[in-house]
Amino acid sequence: MEATEQFVKNFTTVNYDQLSTEVIETTKKQVLDFFGVALAGSAEEGAKQIAELYAETGGVQQSSVIFWGHKMPAANAAQVNATMAHALDYDDVHEAAIIHPGVITVSTSLAMAEYKGGLSGKDFIAANALGADFICRLGLATRPGQNVHAFGWHLTSIYGFMTAAAVAGMVLGFDAETLLNAIGIGYHQSSGNGQCVKDGALTKRMGPGFAVRGGIIAALLAERGVTGARYSIEGRAGIYKVYHQGSYSPEILLDGLGSRMETANVSIKPYPCCRGTHPSIDAALSLVKKHDLDPAAVESVRIWLGEGTYGLLGTPLEVKARPRNVVDGQFSVPWCVATAIARRQVKIEHFTEAAIHSEDILAIAGKIQVELDPALTNPGIEPARVRITTRDGVSFTEQVDFPTGTPHRPLSYAACAEKFRDCISHAPRRLPEDKAEKLVALIARLEELGDVRELLELVQ
């Protein structure tokens, strides 16, 4: 049985009662985190334009746009919500797979839950958990042992089309054949590249939105009888053959399918920037606080990175140390480390057009050198080592292998709730405190909800 068929069987046979407590609790964190980062990113560039465009073009009122308070066709609403949630690069991540699962699964399931009506919290959790497992397995199995960044794909986007189609199909209760077609139609649209990161383009934050819109359209077409490729994953012209020249691991893709979920290994980010910067941020913050380092006393900073992080987030240094725009800052180890040293924290306010011109941060960034250390190279999130040397010649060094928020160092639900509160404090329109706290409480007992639309009623 080809992998696509095996996943479809999994989607149509596994239910909430078969999920582990760990998977259920991680999914709740993802849902709460999605709402927080979407509200914080609701008026960011890219998200604002797509929301305005769809508001102008109109259409049947099927699903809600978070914050903006109006309804539009389900596929459009999901696209806007996903773009908002990814705009700050603060959404959840599976490090080893190099995938942002929640921005795909939660945006899709929320829009389709409203489109369908009456979706229970248990079924909502199951669709998200299975969808996250799917997209993370697809990423994990891609070019094992290689630096996937070198090949130019943005994996969340290219695998997001099929994942969104699957999640939408699960919410709509598709049988196996219809779900198979939905995934095939999703695959036919799959796209997404990493050049936007190198160019500091806003399309980086828009890729997941394109994917969820395409996936929902795929599901709705399949429901109407349109057929798609049956063997989208391992076929002779399936995604691994066409996009990765057949370089993938069937064992990693399917090992433990149905009994073990990669959803449990999803991390919630503590900093609003590319996850690859987080080991360096953790190391810098630890050194600054442990040794009470005054930014004015810093003479130089040296950062050692693995191959993937070095190429994506460490070079070219003239751009990474002096970001041209906010996207450059979000994808820069030097900028993030300089912020940690200069401000002793890394928050949303440090990634704005005004912030990237901050003289105190730029002064530290100008003292940073970045080096490649092959020993730090691995297929997923790579460790980082930071050395800070003071003007009196004393050096302090720290290496972080697993950043805050990973399964090794997870954030509790309470910590995720604090992140949520901080996120909504940066939203252009504040969510009333009573609604915010009710949302936190409802998601904590998500499995008890009879209709997921209760969540969306709080964020309009």
CATH code for the domain in which residue 296 is found: 3.30.1330.120
Q: Which of 71, 332, 73 is CA-nearest to residue 200?
A: 332
Residue 21 sits in the same domain as residue 162: yes
Q: What is the Cα 185 distance to its own chain's centre?
A: 23
Q: How far is CA 171 from CA 26, 126, 201, 397, in A?
A: 19, 9, 33, 49
pLDDT of residue 253: 98
CA 180 to CA 222: how far, in whole Å? 9
Give the three-state DSSP class for 239. Answer: helix
Contact 116, 453 (CB under 8 A): no
Domain membership flag for residue 405 = no
Q: Is the pLDDT of residue 146 over 90?
A: no
Domain range for 306: 275-400
Domain membership flag for residue 170 = yes
Name residue 387's beta-bridge partners: 302, 397
Contact 85, 107 (CB under 8 A): yes
CA atoms within a 13 Å half-sphere pointing along the CA-CB vector of 272: 28
Point out the least confidently predicted range of 17-31, 102-116, 135-149, 228-242. 135-149
CA trace torsion 144, 146, 152, 153 (10° rounding): 20
pLDDT of residue 199: 92
Element of type H or E holding 423: helix 413-425
Which residue reads 């960011």 in tokens?
Answer: 44
**250-288 residue pLDDT tens:** 999 999 999 999 999 999 999 999 999 999 999 999 999
Q: What is the Cα 459 distance to its own chain's centre?
A: 21
CA 83 to CA 96: how far, in whole Å? 23
CA 147 to CA 138: how far, in whole Å? 15
Q: Is the pLDDT of residue 213 over 90?
A: yes
Domain membership flag for residue 26 = yes
Percent of the chain with pLDDT over 90: 93
Domain membership flag for residue 352 = yes
Residue 218 sits in the same domain as residue 322: no
Q: In this structure, what token pair is assigned to residue 392?
A: 């009196």
Contact 267, 92 (CB under 8 A): yes
Of 379, 400, 421, the last residue of a domain is 400
Residue 152 sits in the same domain as residue 258: yes
Neighbouring C-beta atoms of residue 53, cutoff 10 Å: 11
Residue 97 sits in the same domain as residue 196: yes
Tell me the pairing of strands 384-390 and 368-372: unpaired
DSSP class of residue 267 equals: B
pLDDT of residue 197: 87
pLDDT of residue 70: 86
Residue 220 sits in the same domain as residue 297: no
Domain membership flag for residue 323 = yes
Q: How confident is the model at residue 85 (pLDDT cuts 50, 70, 90)?
A: very high
Residue 162 sits in the same domain as residue 74: yes
Q: Is the pLDDT of residue 380 over 80?
A: no
Which residue reads 């190391």 in tokens?
Answer: 283
> What domain count does the chain have?
2
Q: What is the largest CA-CA distance in the chain?
A: 73
pLDDT of residue 270: 95
CA 120 to CA 285: how far, in whole Å? 42
Q: How confident is the model at residue 408 (pLDDT cuts 50, 70, 90)?
A: confident
Neighbouring C-beta atoms of residue 409, cutoff 10 Å: 13
Residue 381 sits in the same domain as residue 439: no
pLDDT of residue 379: 77
pLDDT of residue 378: 85
- Which CATH number covers residue 81? 1.10.4100.10
Domain membership flag for residue 302 = yes
| pTM of the predicted protein model | 0.91
**417-452 residue pLDDT tens:** 999 999 999 998 889 999 999 999 999 999 999 999
pLDDT of residue 429: 84
Domain membership flag for residue 283 = yes
Domain membership flag for residue 168 = yes
Q: What is the mean pLDDT of the chain?
A: 96
Residue 99 sits in the same domain as residue 113: yes
pLDDT of residue 365: 97
Residue 226 sits in the same domain as residue 204: yes
DSSP class of residue 356 equals: G
Which residue reads 């909800």 in tokens?
Answer: 449
CA 276 to CA 149: how far, in whole Å? 12
Q: How confident is the model at residue 338 (pLDDT cuts 50, 70, 90)?
A: very high
Residue 284 sits in the same domain as residue 265: no
What average pLDDT does range 79-102 have in this prediction? 95
Count of all residues that appear for the chain in the document: 460
Residue 220 sits in the same domain as residue 323: no
Residue 449 sits in the same domain as residue 433: yes
Contacts of 45 (CB under 8 A, 6+ apart): 87, 202, 326
Contact 312, 382 (CB under 8 A): no
Burial class, 318, CB count within 10 angstroms (exposed 0-12 / middle 13-18 / buried 19+):
exposed
What average pLDDT does range 9-21 have in this prediction? 98
**292-313 residue pLDDT tens:** 999 999 999 999 999 999 999 9
Burial class, 207, CB count within 10 angstroms (exposed 0-12 / middle 13-18 / buried 19+):
buried
Q: Which of 33, 137, 135, 38 is CA-nearest to residue 92?
A: 33
